[in-house]
Structure 1
Amino acid sequence: MPPYEGPDHGNLDLSVTRLIDAPVATVWNIATQRMEEYFCPRPWRVEVVEHDWRAGGRSALVMHGPDGEHMPQEGVFLEVTPPSGNATARFVFTDSLGPGWKPQGPFMVGIMEFADEGGRTRYTGTARHWSAEACEQHKAMGFEQGWGIVAAQLAAIAEAEVQPA
């Protein structure tokens, strides 16, 4: 019997990808330890409140806008797979659960993947939405441009890290 895959809700994923000229371990370390430096398109900035880097761990941050905007993001990590051998490293988070596994109004599941491509890193950021409305809302918010800028900021930091002095 084939594995259960659930109902087909259509394609509710939005995704960006970028080839980063740095090894996976370098990109992973920056992505998980230096989020304040890349995770929001400037002039926005992010403040990490808590990141418990394990499945079930808390993911809490606040995005701050240039005009005083304050957008808290509370959720949990569903998967944290650091680099190991040839396997794709990734972390997966959602805003559908808060601390203590309390359900809350869901918007998306975020998937950040880091795959080796000949010593460089294929970064893919995906937002998987619960509904077509949420997916369309995220598109209208500027998903492609915003997540593309975030990928470029991550790449710039990682590539500068591996450049010879």
Structure 2
Amino acid sequence: MPVRDVLHDLDTLTITFTAEFAATANRVWEVYTNPRQLERWFGPPTYPATFVDHDLRPGGRATYFMTSPEGEKFGGWWEFTTVEAPSHLAFDDGFADADLHPVDTMPVSHNDYRFSEDSGTTTVVTVSTYDSAEALQKVLDMGVLDGATMSINQIDALLRA
């Protein structure tokens, strides 16, 4: 399992995931940034993602939806703030409505992904920061820790393919 550690801290308003992959940083970067690769792992196993737009540059935006087993769609958006291949990716992440417009009443996270390679093994440390303890608690109550862990743990199969 790639996920080695998951921490959440209501004082610092953060969730931190540490994952390790038996692949180069370039290959792991591709899995995290190529929309067709993202569609193969992003989201819990029974909620596959479809990326509609994906403009990977600072100021660029991605929109996507995840589809439940019953066919219900759940939208989201990213706005990229830092893109430094293959070591640093940062973006804001929020919820979207059926037309993929941001939902202002839902939490937004500010995400910082750091990729470091050592002898062909890449570690990814992801820190998601929320604007308030209430926003962080809301996503915790929605199951973000389990959902993200299940999602990230799908990457190994993709890397072996």
Which category of TM-score, normalised to the shorter sequence, fits these structures? Answer: 0.7 to 0.9
Higher share in strand = 2
The one-letter code matched in structure 1 to 2:145 is E
The residue identity in structure 1 corresponding to 2:151 is: V
CA deviation vs aligned residue, 1:39-75 (integer Å, no higher than 9, x gap)? 0111101110111110000121111111222111124
**Larger % of helix: which?**
1
Equivalent in 39, 44, 47 of residue 44 of structure 1? 47
Structure 1: gaps (5+ residues): 1-8, 84-88
**Match in the other structure for 1:77:** 80
Residue in structure 1 matched with residue 29 of structure 2 by the alignment: 28
C-alpha displacement of 1:118? 2.7
CA drift at 1:77: 0.7
Change (3 A) 1:12 1:121: same
Q: State the alpha-carbon separation in 2 of the partners of residues 144 and 118 from structure 1.
A: 29
Residue of structure 2 in register with 1:115 after alignment: 116
CA distance in 2, matches of 1:151, 1:113: 15
**Once the 2 structures are TM-superposed, how far is the Cα of residue 110 of structure 1 from its aligned partner?**
2.3
The separation in 1 between residues aligned to 2:112 and 2:157, in whole angstroms, is 20
Displacement of 1:104: 6.6
TM-score by length of 1: 0.77
Deviation at 1:117, TM superposition (A): 2.7
- In the other structure, the counterpart of 2:144 is 143
- Using a 3 Å threshold, how does the CA distance of structure 1 residues 135 and 29 change in structure 2: closer, same or farther? same
Q: Which structure 1 residue ranges, 4+ long, deviate > 4 Å from structure 2?
A: none
| CA deviation after TM superposition for structure 1 residue 78, in Å | 0.9
The answer for the alignment partner of 1:5 in structure 2 is: none
Q: Which amino acid aligns with 2:84?
A: T
Indicate the SS of the match to 1:94.
Answer: strand
When the two chains are superposed, the root-mean-square deviation of aligned CA atoms in Å is 2.3
Matched residue of 1:43: which SS?
A: coil
Structure 2 equivalent of residue 3 of structure 1 = none
Mapping of residues 87-126 of structure 1, within 5 Å: 89-95=87-93, 105=104, 106-126=107-127
**Aligned residue pair count:** 143
State the TM-score, normalizing by the size of structure 2: 0.79
Displacement of 1:18 after TM fit? 1.4
